[in-house]
């Protein structure tokens, strides 16, 4: 079963997080997770109109920036936002994401 790497947020800097969020598709993924209020989504539930490899890349970038965590459940990749950790490390970031257009 595939295991994903999730960095400690202690080693993640704000520019890395902002770079990950600079792509509209990745920002949309994070917003969708915020709408779910802590519940996980399978990677195919995001409604992204991109190739599977592109979708995988976007999730990899978000994981690398410490924004999301992913785990395998059978054949599904379940993803959730690391909201409590993000709010502690970067106060105000979630509100900024929610208010950004």
Tens of pLDDT, residue by residue over 15-65, are: 999 999 999 999 999 999 998 887 899 988 888 788 888 888 999 999 999
More confident residue, 54 or 81: 81
Task: Please tell me the pTM assigned to this model.
Answer: 0.90
Strand-pairing partners, residue 79, are 41, 70
C-alpha dist (Å) from residue 20 to 44, 73, 80: 20, 25, 16
Instruction: From 79, 85, 80, select the one nearest 12 (Cα to Cα).
Output: 85
CA distances to 8, 21, 51, 101 from 85, in Å: 9, 17, 30, 24
């Amino acid at each position: 079963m595939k295991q994903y790497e999730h960095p400690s947020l202690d080693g993640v800097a704000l520019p890395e997080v902002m770079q990950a969020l600079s792509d509209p598709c990745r920002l949309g993924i994070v917003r969708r997770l915020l709408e779910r209020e802590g519940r996980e989504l399978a990677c195919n539930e995001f409604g992204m109109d991109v190739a599977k490899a592109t979708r995988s890349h976007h999730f990899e970038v978000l994981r690398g920036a410490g924004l999301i965590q992913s785990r395998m459940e059978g054949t599904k990749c379940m993803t959730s936002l690391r909201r409590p950790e993000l709010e502690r490390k970067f106060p105000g970031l979630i509100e900024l994401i929610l208010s950004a257009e």
